[in-house]
Amino acid sequence: MKNNSFNKNQIYNLQNTQADDSRFPLVNGVGLACRPFGSDQGFSLTELPDFAGEITSDALNRQRRPQPRLACLAALHLLSLAANSTVTPTGLKLNIISIVIGDTASGKDAHQIYTNDVAGYIGLGRNVLDKISTDKDFVVNLLDNDYKTLYVNDEAHAFFDGINNKNSSLYVRNIASLMLTAYTGVSLKLNGLRLRDLKLELKEEKKRITKKYKELGADSEGERICQQLDDQLNSLIEFGIRNPYFALMAASTPGEMDGFVNAKNINSGWLPRCIVIKADQSGRLKRGETPPISNDVISKLRDINKCSKKISITEEADMLLDAILDHYDLPEIRNHEVFGGLYRRMFETVSKVASILAVGNNFAMTSEHVVWAHEFIYLSIADMVDTYQSNTVSNLSSNLDIYYSTMQRIVTIISKEKRGITKGVLTQGLNQSSKKKVPFRLFLEKYAERTCQNEKDLLNTFVLKIIDNMTVHGIINCGGKITLEDKDKLLNVSECPEWFNQWLLMFTTVTNQSPMIKRVR
């Protein structure tokens, strides 16, 4: 590996310091923690150790627009998939979840295409799936594919919106809990409904097998196969799906995914388990034919897939892992008010990536693997911190901006019906609005949370307030129907109406207080 090949200024000008540098705090002003050791200890972004480096180089050669970090992701996912049953030094599974945020035509999906193609060549193509439709789909895919699934999703925003939306169907929302169990757990228990379905399916399958082997005059063989199927189902009933492997390669555009990097998803535990990468904007588009996938890469991955070993670890690598564990567990880092959740999972994610790299070194982890893994995940956290801070700045809209976005949404809702809408329909429409597009919703939600009030009740009151105050601005309420006389009167204003300013003042005054301050009802 080459020394000093990574430019420290590439981390979006975020502070780049070591823990033993007393001139700087453990966590800087934007929330990025210092490293436990320097990034110049032989680190090279595109030169991964051992076989992982060969895969990365092959993936990078096939990219039309170079995305080095995404080529690294392809190598990690493929090694993880091929060696999914490997026993790691920390007891963690090798599966990873990655999210790439990149503009259209930036090459953000090239690593997905490469991973899918290589998986097909090494006999694991059936384990690479597109999207998860329902909770049942998630479970059935595991059962049908040897308990091993890697999902590739290039429209991640729609998927995450669906599983996190309280208005989604229960069988869609349930996907989130199943994903977390399959990602972290040693067993995924099936619910009663699914088990009953399996029993009925098995009953029909046993009838077919019995008939087939009876016609062949091999009744005993048919009985043996049926008994084997019974044993498999009984094992599922007793123990569930043992050691399920679930991994995810997700990608989307900044406009759709930036909002996903928020405090709620950090605290939920999802983001800290993810590798998030902002696609490189500087790569130039290449012309010419795409070279074929390396036969050496295919051959070596096939060999890895045939064997399963326990990963050994050198003393130096073990010491570095201990240093990472101790450093990010320091109170000032792990208890950071916004990013503490990211740092508390740092050791887990680094040890996973280091173990994956070790697979390509005949299942032996060295200090080189740990150093590279730490820097790769550190850059992921830097991307998340940068994205979060950018969102925070962009969300500081003026009162007039918030008024305009809210009224624009109201215009859209009312305009859907020429004869007008009821107050209930208007309330429902505002309730379903995206918080990102209608910032007022965010204020409303925070106010409800801090004051222990019902958000829907507040929204109902707000709609009444609109009706009372907006007659002069082109909204008419007649006979229980709300219609729009002239949207220009509503939207073409030079300053925010005073009543709206007062509402925002009430919300921001309370929501900026400590979470411990709540009104007792």
The answer on 261 and 164 residing in a single domain is: yes
CB 491 within 8 Å of CB 484? no
Q: Residue 265: its pLDDT value, please?
A: 85
CB 336 within 8 Å of CB 33? yes
CB 50 within 8 Å of CB 337? no
The answer on 234 and 181 residing in a single domain is: no
Q: Which residue has the tokens 């107050």?
A: 423
Q: Residue 398: its pLDDT value, please?
A: 64
* Distance, C-alpha 295 to centroid of its chain: 32
The answer on 336 and 301 residing in a single domain is: yes
Q: Which of 358, 393, 428 is the last residue of a domain?
A: 393
The answer on 219 and 259 residing in a single domain is: no
Closest by CA position to 350, among listed 326, 328, 376, 368: 376
Q: What is the mean pLDDT of each run of 10 residues along the chain (521 residues)?
A: 33 40 69 78 71 93 89 95 90 93 84 94 94 88 92 83 78 86 89 84 88 88 89 87 92 78 84 90 79 94 90 95 95 92 95 96 94 92 84 61 74 76 81 62 67 73 74 74 73 72 64 34 24
Q: Which domain holds residue 206?
A: 193-239
Q: Could you tell me where the DSSP H helices lie in 366-477?
A: 367-394, 399-415, 423-431, 439-451, 455-469
61 assigned to some structural domain? yes
Q: How many other CB atoms are found less than 10 A from the CB of residue 99?
A: 25
- Amino acid identity at 84: N
The answer on 183 and 71 residing in a single domain is: yes
516 assigned to some structural domain? no
The set of residues, in sequence order, having a beta carbon less than 8 Å from that of 402 and lying 6+ positions away, is 439, 440, 443, 496, 504
37 assigned to some structural domain? no
The answer on 163 and 252 residing in a single domain is: yes
Q: Which of 348, 369, 393 is the last residue of a domain?
A: 393
CB 343 within 8 Å of CB 266? no
Query: How large is the angle between the packed helices 423-431 and 455-469, nearest 10 degrees?
Result: 120
The answer on 264 and 230 residing in a single domain is: no
Q: Residue 12: its pLDDT value, please?
A: 29
Distance CA 467, CA 494 (A): 20
Distance CA 377, CA 386 (A): 14
This model's pTM is above 0.75 = no
Query: Which H helix or E strand runs over 192?
Result: helix 192-215
Q: Residue 340: its pLDDT value, please?
A: 93
Classified as helix, coil or strand, 405 is helix
The answer on 299 and 438 residing in a single domain is: no
Q: Which of 368, 393, 418 is the last residue of a domain?
A: 393
The answer on 440 and 368 residing in a single domain is: no
Distance CA 352, CA 96 (A): 8
CB 80 within 8 Å of CB 247? yes
In the chain, the number of structural domains is 3
Dihedral of the alpha carbons of 107, 109, 113, 114, in degrees to the nearest 10:
60
267 assigned to some structural domain? yes
Distance CA 346, CA 273 (A): 9
The answer on 366 and 477 residing in a single domain is: no
Three-state DSSP string of 79-101? HHHHCCCCECCCCCCCCCEEEEE
The answer on 333 and 208 residing in a single domain is: no
The answer on 327 and 386 residing in a single domain is: yes
